Chain A
Amino acid sequence: MTIVPALDLFVAGVVLVVAVWTVAVRNTSSAVVGFVAYGLLLALVWVRLGAPDVALTEAAIGSGLTGALLIGAAARLRAGESTVAAERPGVPVRLLIAALATVVAAAIAGVLLSLPDPAPTLAPEATANAGATGLGNPITNVLMAFRAMDTMLEKVVLLLAVLGIWSLSPDAAWGGRPHLPHRAEPDAALEFLARVLTPVGVVLGIAVLWVSADHPGGAFQGATILAAMWLLVLMAGLGEVPDIGRRRLRLALVVGPAVFLTIGLGGLVVSGAFLSYPQGFAKPLILAIEFAMILTVATTLGLLVAGPPVAGPPAAGSAAAGSPARRAAP
């Protein structure tokens, strides 16, 4: 056995061990730490699979932001955990579920072995049509041109998640600001995460933005890392989340999909197809969309972690403060 397959086997083994730990460990905070570690390992796997863009996303979102979210929640839920944990089904039911889950996993593994060789791929088609956009990054071409509709709709999903979270606030808090539970309870794991992630995140963020300037395609990952930095600042108590009623915040949340839609409709008028770009203008237009999206995505991701508003709007002139219509200053 050569060194590379052995390495693959080793990484896969560690990934599985950490995954089992995440499911099996009793304490939920430990499980979350396990999940964060799992996510970082997975990022390694993505690099190995030739997908550095996915690796960045996985590390930043799948591991970092999800971890931040879950660790905070685990701490707040600790009080009621033991009574709920006692509702675990008995051994026969657990065995039955384990057996059924094994069959499903085995079926998926079996499909892997049955997939056709050579594998069907769209890589040649993506190369052949890369010239239409003038972008170097094939993944950006897929996200912004070939399958732009999915990307636009995904931004709608993000906005919906923010709205859903806000809708869970108490009525009195509407228009107020979310409150990150910093310093509410010293949590060693959170502190550790913040210490480790800050330098890593800053370096990564700069690197991704650098790549974006040279080679468009890092907008999304760059936004993620910016959001992570924003959150760390918030968690360290150095800043506050803005009021959710504030017009500028609302605009930041919709500008990404709105610019996307507008340019898409422009394509319908100018070059005859929704979400198409006129010849020669593809690159600047895509850059414009990406710029708007960086703002929207970074704000959205931060707000998804920040949670619903908990305190009411500022007391002075409370009726006006709650109404973004009144403070509109276009």
Chain B
Amino acid sequence: MAVPVSGPGSTEGGALLVLAIVIPVAAALLGFAAGGRRTERIALGALPIGLTVAVLIAAAVPPASAVPLTDGVLTYLLGGWAPPLGVALRADGLSAVMLVIAAVVVCAVGVFARADFAIADGAAETRAPFAFWILLPMIWAGLNTVFLAGDLFTLYVALEILTFAAVPLVCLDGRGETLQAALRYLLFALLGSVLYLAGTVLLYGAYGTLDIVLLSQRVAVAPAPLVAGALMTVGLLAKTALVPLHLWLPPAHAGAPPAGSALLSALVVKGSFFIVVRLWFDVMPGLPSVAATQMLSTLGAAAIVLGSVVALRQERLKLLIAYSTLAQIGYLFLLFGLAFDVDSAAMQKGDALAGGMLQAMSHATAKAAMFMAAGSIYVAMGHDRIAALAGAGRRVPVAVLAFALGGVALAGLPPGGAYLAKELLLGAAARTGQWWWAVVIQAGGAFTGAYLLLVLARVLAPPDRAAAGDVDTHHGRVAWYPQAAALVLAMVSLSLGLVDWSAWLPIPPGARLAASVVDTLAAAVWPVLAGGVLAVLIGRWTTPSGGRLARAVATLGPLRRGGIALGENVCRGDAFLRRWPMAGVSLLALAVAFGAALWTGR
């Protein structure tokens, strides 16, 4: 077929990119048509195939991660049509690592979910399992399209696939509160996608293409890309639930069934985050300004503080983990302020971007593990009220271990991926002289340590005799494999720091784990100690009665009261921001502010 080639053609191995999207789509279609037990089997059967394809893509991506998206990346022209008329799929190092991480998490969730959504042979098809085993491959298809699509409109359709597959997961149990959470999520996410679409329309009007590489060559300072950049960024932030656009996330992520929460927290929010990265680093690397990048990072810092403090005040484990996700999303956005190069006035693909992506990967694996472990704990204890979780460590030891290791990885302890991410981000902060982000980065780790300690102190405590009576009746048995799936993910997260990522991520060669034992120890001890202090001051715990401990607490009295007051005020602020009109004001105000910030950069 005659093809008007105006860019590079398909590269060898490019067909793998097609398979990464087609396999989950085909699994969903087949599962839908087959029904019953076969829906589950088809979805499970697709998992190893998709994982293999993702690994093959990672192996095939040429080690050229620091270069612009144009050169040397794996490319596939769909239908043989070159952009701007056609649509290209492209995989660079960022796509490759995200594809693999998504595949690993999806596989683990698939194994875990067999406990909740198994369909017995010959039994009648039921609602929730049927929906889940189609939504799982659909979410995967949406994510893979997000990671690979080279066209802004294809990305829009992919975003919609993600949203449409994520929303039904939230309310799979059909309870009123989860229906409300799903409705809020859907309505806010739809606003976000229309704003994103509005931006793509403006870009097409100005440049006559939606292809990312062609746009990166054409975008210059002009009203259209500035307005488009602001609208698209804000729309994507709404879908990522970056504070203050987070009204939908806590109830949605806490209310979904555990397998759903794991997918939503670990992967779905990363989809829109990934497009923000694409937009700022690849579509318009020369457009951002100091003001705009500092704004994004400031929102990230606010998310870390708000999410962490509210997490420390939660009574329920799943809500605590959901608020922890808010904080971790904030962590991801720190990279923008650190990756802006003042001299060239452009986004630079370097240590900050690598650190942010590593953080995203670590959070995806660790958070999925934690939600899955929380699910097992819920089944074993019959509830997830943190104060009454004593004894969980004996009932579901593997799940509790998975939760602990996931938390340790997330808090940035070596050798976790989050530790390496923290090192990279701190290095970027030092290099660019932005010490204030270094403070935020360290605080983020300490906060994570704080809520981890708060939970572990309860679940590792011996069973509470007095409370055992009324709770015992609800105990459920937890099989070994859902716990093992969570444990494997936690271990993956904890070992991400041991891998040499320089083939995929723009890491300066030699940036590995801390060289000396002393550094490593310090890195391990600091978040735990600081976290302990924060947990004691702000956390939700009851004063022990009698003994030396009580006296120690009494001396802390005024500080503790101050900490609680702070915590309550942050909670009130959170409730205020999560009211719909306030979130709407934030959405519009941020759109205007980003437009102005991009404008003043000139």
Contacts and interface: CB of A to CB of B under 8 A. Distances in A.
Chains A and B touch (C-beta atoms under 8 A apart)? yes
Interface of A: 89, 93, 96-97, 100-101, 103-104, 107-108, 110-112, 114-116, 119-122, 125-126, 128-129, 132, 145-150, 153-154, 156-157, 159-161, 163-164, 166-171, 174-175, 245, 247, 250-251, 253-254, 257-258, 261, 264-265, 267-268, 271-277, 279, 318-320, 322-326
B399 interface: no
A222 B548 CA distance: 80
A283 B161 CA distance: 29
A168 B595 CA distance: 39
A125 B208 CA distance: 11
Q: Which of A107, A116, A169 has the most CB of B within 10 A?
A: A107
A111 B81 contact: no
B463 interface: no
B25 A115 contact: no
Interface stretch (B168-176, B318-326, B345-353): B168-176
Nearest to A89: B581
Contacts of A175: 124-125
Given A146-B81, A169-B127, A319-B124, A156 B25 contact: yes
B35 A247 contact: yes
B18 interface: yes
Contacts of A168: 168, 171, 174, 179
B38 A325 contact: yes
A147 B25 contact: no
Contact of B2 (A103, A132, A167, A247): A132
B467 interface: no
Interface stretch (B220-228, B382-390, B453-461, B500-508): B220-228
Given A129-B85, A146-B79, A150-B157, A111 B1 contact: no
Contact of A323 (B28, B36, B86, B164): B36
A258 B592 CA distance: 43
A250 B172 CA distance: 21
A121 to B, nearest CB: 6
Given A96-B585, A156-B25, A247-B35, A122 B208 contact: yes
B206 to A, nearest CB: 6
A96 to B, nearest CB: 6
Interface stretch (B102-110, B130-138, B418-426, B491-499): B130-138
A161 B202 CA distance: 28
B591 interface: yes
Nearest to A313: B124
26 contacts: A100-B585, A103-B588, A103-B592, A104-B231, A111-B228, A129-B2, A147-B86, A147-B153, A148-B79, A149-B87, A157-B160, A157-B164, A160-B135, A171-B127, A261-B22, A267-B79, A271-B1, A271-B80, A274-B15, A279-B1, A322-B125, A323-B123, A325-B35, A325-B37, A325-B38, A325-B125
Contact of A273 (B79, B584, B595): B79
B158 interface: yes
A153 B145 contact: yes
A110 B227 contact: yes
A100 B594 CA distance: 13
Contacts of B161: 153, 156-157, 160
B84 A153 contact: no
Given A273-B78, A323-B125, 11 more contacts: A104-B588, A108-B198, A111-B228, A114-B224, A120-B207, A129-B4, A148-B78, A171-B127, A175-B124, A254-B29, A277-B1
B565 interface: no
Contacts of B468: none
Given A100-B589, A171-B126, A174-B125, A274 B79 contact: yes
B529 interface: no
Contacts of A104: 231, 588, 591-592
Nearest to A148: B79
B75 to A, nearest CB: 12
A159 B29 contact: yes
Contacts of A125: 4, 84-85
A275 B506 CA distance: 33
Contacts of A250: 32-33, 35
A148 B1 CA distance: 16
Contacts of A276: 1, 79-81
Q: Which of A97, A276, A325 has the most CB of B within 10 A?
A: A325
Contacts of B392: none
Contacts of B80: 271-273, 276
Contacts of A324: 35-36, 125
A7 to B, nearest CB: 24
A115 B15 CA distance: 37
B165 interface: yes
Contacts of B168: 163-164, 167-168
B141 interface: yes
A305 to B, nearest CB: 17
Contacts of A145: 79, 81
A245 B130 CA distance: 11
Q: Which of A93, A149, A254 has the most CB of B within 10 A?
A: A149
B120 to A, nearest CB: 11
Q: A-B pairs with the 9 shortest C-beta distances?
A: A120-B208, A325-B36, A100-B588, A322-B124, A273-B80, A324-B35, A167-B131, A160-B164, A89-B581
Contacts of B28: 156, 159
Interface in B1-15: 1-2, 4, 10, 15
B77 interface: yes
Nearest to A103: B592
A102 to B, nearest CB: 10
Contacts of A93: 581, 585
B224 A115 contact: yes
A25 B513 CA distance: 63
A250 B33 CA distance: 5
B214 to A, nearest CB: 11
B167 interface: yes
Contacts of A268: 15, 18
Nearest to B124: A322
B154 A149 contact: yes
